[in-house]
Structure 1
């Protein structure tokens, strides 16, 4: 296992600022997700750690050793991309031994090591298989095994599951994390998908325009987003201009109770899945009579668009179950909307 530390890292390329003053500590054996929109920074961080992208200023330390100027081959880093990048003319064992053979290492010792790693990545009996004979998930495991055989202590994963179909992708998220933990590697995983980051990460760093907006456990960043960008990036949300006073916030004539005190003008964020709909009026705070305008089925969910007073539209997400059987029957009907005060986020205008 290895510790990684970035200190005030800035990267400029062709006049464009890719990373700005990024500091990040990744502990031994930690699996850290880097999450953000395309071009916001996660993939650049992987390239900086690996040595494929030079920093303009700042430091990269691995196990407290400054590797800022070290070439990639001296950093003991394995890189797993979206594309599998296996040698098609070599079988599994041959792919693992390619690096050691080029470096003229003792192949007898390395073959023994490679076979042990093949077992650890759950590819027993497939040593003689060629890449075209393996599933996408198996090929990703070969990529990890090859990097570990070559001496990698750090695994960098750049959107590794994007080329896989949905079912395999879901399985691999859990499987690769388990393998990385079993191999006692430190992992840094870049993705644009919130669900993926939430599943695989011990901690998540959320990027926007080359900067870290927030870092924390998946639960912490999701439940306690530090700002408007994080709150709306992590989940589909209703967003309104609003004004806060004491423990209330108002959108026109519509007023919500909050859990925390708010003052001044700002924006209110209420995530779709926290807007709860009822056929019968519930008890408690923030209950409103609403009219259903639109309904859309999204797989296992239903998205309702409802109208509250003053023609304010709210989007709600409910599970598709017996309660909402034949959902089209609710169009133009009255339902009741309830929102827990703790789920309403108010971000004061700066």
Structure 2
């Protein structure tokens, strides 16, 4: 059984009368890529700062490798942080930036430069060792920040939305590189993001935050296929809320249900399988997204549904009437938010 690297037990953080974290408990396993996902103000960055020691909890216990570190300062915790703005030193070259933490810890010059060169080689920047920070691209600066944090060999690396300033293509490239680096080093990564696709691509497990609480924690597939409540279903991926009358007509009672767009089949013909839910609607919009078409269908009662069709296939035109069908087994039962 894999031991826990980080444990938060009944942690609350208040700023005056505002409750930023509300009785939160979670465990992060050793060697895990763990993401904290949620909108701005949901509590994920505050949780990261509590783990790092930059904030002290109002109540509750924070433990690293089973040791209570709640009252310990950041420099007394075996963690390191990569910030959103990287916080690199512009007056130093790349090598000195990476070696700086080792210098502060009193590591001899030859050893610290050897370790810094080795870390730059790992992030494929050893050829840039003599460059100034301003000479690097955004992606290269991000790698320098990673190397500077990792050269200290922390047990836990905390990452506060480090990819948010990068353009989409570079961001996707760095997602793959970060995951590869984490697997190679075997260090526990705790990653904060508001981008659900980013969390899905990189994480072993995800904690979805809202209003200072964890709404759901699980693997990417668990969270996408079996969202715990309305908030998770709506925040992670695209979700259609099934009109209650349709659920009731299908014998599902008064419960609330959702269906993912890719689970819906549709046709301009009314001939559809009766094994599940069947309804009709009018196409109001059809958008080409490169890999797929996203089609908005208005159902009776002015309910907007999103359905998808792969690129290359025929698609309906606005104004067309579509017959939509999906299986009962693909419907997601929803609970209220926490």
**Shared fold (TM-score, shorter chain, > 0.5):** yes
Q: Does 1:119 pair with 2:106?
A: no
Q: Residues 213 and 348 from structure 1, CA distance in 2 versus in 1: closer, same or farther, beyond 3 angstroms?
A: closer
**Structure 1 CA distance for aligned equivalents of residues 133 and 268 of structure 2:** 55
| Separation of aligned partners in 1, 2:37 and 2:93 | 34
Q: Which residue of 1 aligns with 2:221?
A: 219
Secondary structure of 2:171's counterpart equals helix
Query: Matches of 1:111 and 1:197 in 2, distance apart?
Result: 34
Please state how far the C-alpha of 1:150 moved relative to its aligned partner.
Answer: 2.8
How many residues were matched structurally? 333
The answer to whether the 8 Å contact 1:289/1:334 transfers is: yes
Is the 2:83–2:162 Cα contact (8 Å) retained in structure 1? yes
2:191 and 2:335 mapped to 1: Cα distance? Answer: 32
- Structure 2, unmatched stretches of 5+, are none
Which stretch shows the higher mean deviation, 119-128 or 284-293?
284-293
CA RMSD of aligned residues (A): 2.3
Q: Which residue of 1 aligns with 2:134?
A: 132
**Are 1:141 and 1:176, in contact at CA under 8 Å, matched by a contact in 2?**
no
Deviation at 1:64, TM superposition (A): 0.9
Per-residue Cα deviation, 1:155-207 (whole angstroms, up to 9, x for no partner): 11111111000100011111111112212211101111110110110000111
Equivalents in 2 of 1:150, 1:217: separation in Å?
A: 29
* Residue 273 of structure 2 is aligned to residue 283 of structure 1: yes
* Unmatched segments (≥5 aa) in structure 1: none
Normalised TM-score (structure 1):
0.87
Residue 235 of structure 1 is matched in structure 2 by 237
The CA deviation at 1:45 is 1.0
Residue 241 of structure 1 and its aligned partner are, at CA, apart by 5.6
Distance 1:203 1:293 in 2: 37
Summarize the alignment of residues 6-17 of structure 1 with structure 2, pairs less than 5 Å apart.
6-17=8-19
Q: 1:150 aligns with which of 116, 137, 152?
A: 152
Q: Give 1:59's aligned residue.
A: 61
Determine whether 1:347 maps to 2:338.
Answer: no
Q: Shift of the alpha carbon at 1:287?
A: 3.3
1:30–1:349 distance in 2 versus 1, CA, 3 Å: closer
1:316-335 superposed matches below 5 A: 316-319=306-309, 321-324=311-314, 330-335=317-322
Q: 1-side partners of 2:208 and 2:216: how far apart?
A: 5
Q: Is the Cα contact below 8 Å between 1:2 and 1:154 reproduced in 2?
A: no
**TM-score between the two structures when normalised by the length of structure 2:** 0.90
Pairs within 5 Å for 1:149-188: 149-188=151-190
Aligned to 1:338: 325
Cα contact 1:2–1:29 (8 A) shared by 2? no
**SS of aligned partner of 1:324:** coil
Contact 1:177-1:200 at 8 Å conserved across structures: yes
Q: For each residue in 1:296-347, what CA deviation from the matched residue of structure 2 results, as whole angstroms up to 9, or x when unmatched?
A: 3445443323244x4453422324523236x5xx222233212232222233
Counterpart selection for 1:273 from 249, 258, 262: 262
Contact between 2:263 and 2:330, CA under 8 Å: does it hold in 1? yes
SS in structure 1 at match of 2:127 = coil
Distance 1:336 1:190, change over 3 A: same
Identify which of 19, 28, 33 aligns with 2:35.
33
1:305 corresponding residue in structure 2: 296
